[in-house]
Structures are given as structure tokens and as C-alpha cells.
Amino acid sequence: MHTLKINYFPLLCVLCMFGLLVGCKKDNVIPSEPESPSLSMDDLYKSAILDAMVADSTEVIDSLWALTPENTSLQWKTINGKPHVLLASFMRYPSSYPVGDSINNSWGESWVFIPQQMKARIGSSFSAESDTTMRICQLLGLPPANERSNTHIAEVWVNPERLYRPAGDPAVTTTTAGAALSNNSSETFASWFNSYIVFAYYRTLSAAADYHYPWTRLGYTYDWAPESNNVGMSEYVLQANSGIWVESVSKVSDYF
């Protein structure tokens, strides 16, 4: 009777080679980078405030909208013998802006923007699912949309002589402005400018619904939307107790 002898050597060689291949393959696997957690709206806004506190020369632009007759993108109207420019206010008291009537902002200064610029900037970006209020808040450098957010946009005619730019250079006829006060600033404007620095960045917040603001001091709003380059709208301040002629009032959802 013959005993069957099995040679296991070739099989062992194959198993060893397979083990080496598996080992090499495993060693060569490059672990994927962990995805960065997306920031919340509140986080983005807080980051914008910290960034806006420090302005440098690279953030100065030369494309601010000048309020002059030469700017053909503006709308003008003569009222009581004086030229008035069409601007807009983002607000939540539509009853205070009766269409076709004149009012006075006796309640205080009003921050305004150019309606044509806003419509050109974001008007075509909305869909039925868009959060229009949130996008406007981002573009204008306002806190994330909440129950206290503004709800309407009023287009108004105002005398440009009653406006100033909230920047180092308050002139509204220029296309650029720095963050440092210009040498020819009036004492009144210098006082307002320095006080607003405290208000925007450093004042003690009195409630959870109170906010600081990402004021650029460069003549444009801080657009804190994700993927934005942070350059928002040209902005202006209408002095308190100024005459205002109301052209239209719209809910933000109906504005674009």
C-alpha cells in the first residue's frame, strides 16, 4: 500500500504572496481628510464682526457708488426745486412710510442703500425656496434673520445734502474711502464716527436679541454670506429730521 504524500509548499507560497499583497495594499491606503464642520449663521456673523474690526489697505475698494448726476445708474427727481436721489431703507414699520406722502425721520438717522445696486447684485439669485430675508441681512451686514428682523423695503427720495457715508471719508460723491478719519472731517462727524465704533463692536449687549455689527468703515456693507468676498453694498446714512418722499413699500418677498 502506497502512502499519498502531499506537497504543501506551493500552497504555502501562494498564501504568503497573497498576504504580502494584502498588506501592501492596506499600507498604501491614504486616509481621507475629515470634512470641516459647516459654520452656523450665528458663527458666520460673529466671525464677520471680528474681521470687520480690523481694516487694512487691501480691503479698500474704488467702486463705491458715488451719488452724483454723472452716475447714470441712479434715479433722480426734482422736489421743491432741489435734486433728490432714490434710495431704499430695509425696515419693519411699513405704516411709517405712507406711499406717495412725505415724512420726516424724527426717530433718528436712517441707514440706506441704492435699490438698483441691490437688485442687480442679488435679484436674480432667488427661487421659491430662497430665504430672501436672510440673504438681505447677510448682504447688508445685519444679524441673521430672526423674529425681530426687518420685513419691508421702502424706496424713498432724499436730498443727498442730508447724507453722509459711514466711512473714514464721509463724502458721498467719491468712489473710495479708507477706514481712518480724513483730516477734513468735521468735529460732528468725528464724534459720531468714534461713538459708532464703540456701538458697533464694543458696547455691552443688554439682551440676547441685541447684537454688535460688522461695520467696515470703508463705505460698503460687510456681506457675510458663505463664499462671499465680503464686499457688500455701498451704504449711506440719512441724518435725523430729514425730509423723505416715499415712492414705494414692498414686502421683501415681493421686492425682487
Distance between CA atoms of residues 160 and 112, nearest Å: 12
pLDDT number for residue 207: 86
Least confident of 1-5, 54-58, 71-75, 148-152: 1-5
Distance between CA atoms of residues 88 and 179, nearest Å: 24
> Shortest CA distance to 113 belongs to which of 144, 80, 136?
136
pLDDT number for residue 120: 97
Q: Is residue 19 part of a domain?
A: no
pLDDT number for residue 6: 47
- pLDDT tens column, 129-178: 899 999 999 999 999 999 999 999 999 999 999 999 999 999 999 999 99
Q: Residue 241 carries which DSSP code?
A: S
- Has residue 24 got a pLDDT over 80? no
pLDDT number for residue 18: 41
Helices (H), the chain: 9-27, 41-53, 115-122, 132-139, 187-197, 252-255
122 contacts 256 by C-beta, under 8 angstroms: yes
Q: Is residue 9 part of a domain?
A: no
pLDDT number for residue 38: 86
220 contacts 52 by C-beta, under 8 angstroms: no
Q: Could you tell me the pLDDT band of residue 37, with boundaries at 50, 70 and 90?
A: low
Q: Is residue 112 part of a domain?
A: yes
Q: Is residue 22 part of a domain?
A: no
Distance between CA atoms of residues 93 and 186, nearest Å: 32
- pLDDT tens column, 198-232: 999 999 999 888 999 999 999 999 999 999 999 99
Q: Is residue 154 part of a domain?
A: yes
Q: Is residue 32 part of a domain?
A: no
- Has residue 252 got a pLDDT over 70? yes
- Has residue 123 got a pLDDT over 60? yes
Instruction: Quote the number of domains for the chain.
Output: 1
247 contacts 156 by C-beta, under 8 angstroms: yes
Residues 226-250 have a mean pLDDT of 98
- Has residue 237 got a pLDDT over 50? yes
- At 17, give phi and psi (nearest 5°): -65, -40
Q: Is residue 21 part of a domain?
A: no
Q: Is residue 86 part of a domain?
A: yes
Share of residues in the chain with pLDDT > 90 (%):
82
Amino acid at 42: D
219 contacts 177 by C-beta, under 8 angstroms: yes
Residues 6-10 have a mean pLDDT of 48
Q: How much is the mean pLDDT over the chain?
A: 90
Distance between CA atoms of residues 140 and 215, nearest Å: 10
Q: How far is CA 197 from CA 138, 201, 223, in A?
A: 20, 6, 18
> Shortest CA distance to 223 belongs to which of 163, 134, 155, 120?
134
- Is the Cα dihedral 179, 117, 110, 185 positive or negative? positive
Residues 34-48 have a mean pLDDT of 85
Distance between CA atoms of residues 71 and 60, nearest Å: 20
Q: Which residue is it, cell 461695520?
A: 215
Q: Could you tell me the pLDDT band of residue 34, with boundaries at 50, 70 and 90?
A: low
- Has residue 89 got a pLDDT over 60? yes
For 67-214, list the strands marked E by DSSP: 76-79, 82-91, 102-104, 110-113, 152-158, 163-164
For residue 88, what are the domain limits? 41-204+212-255
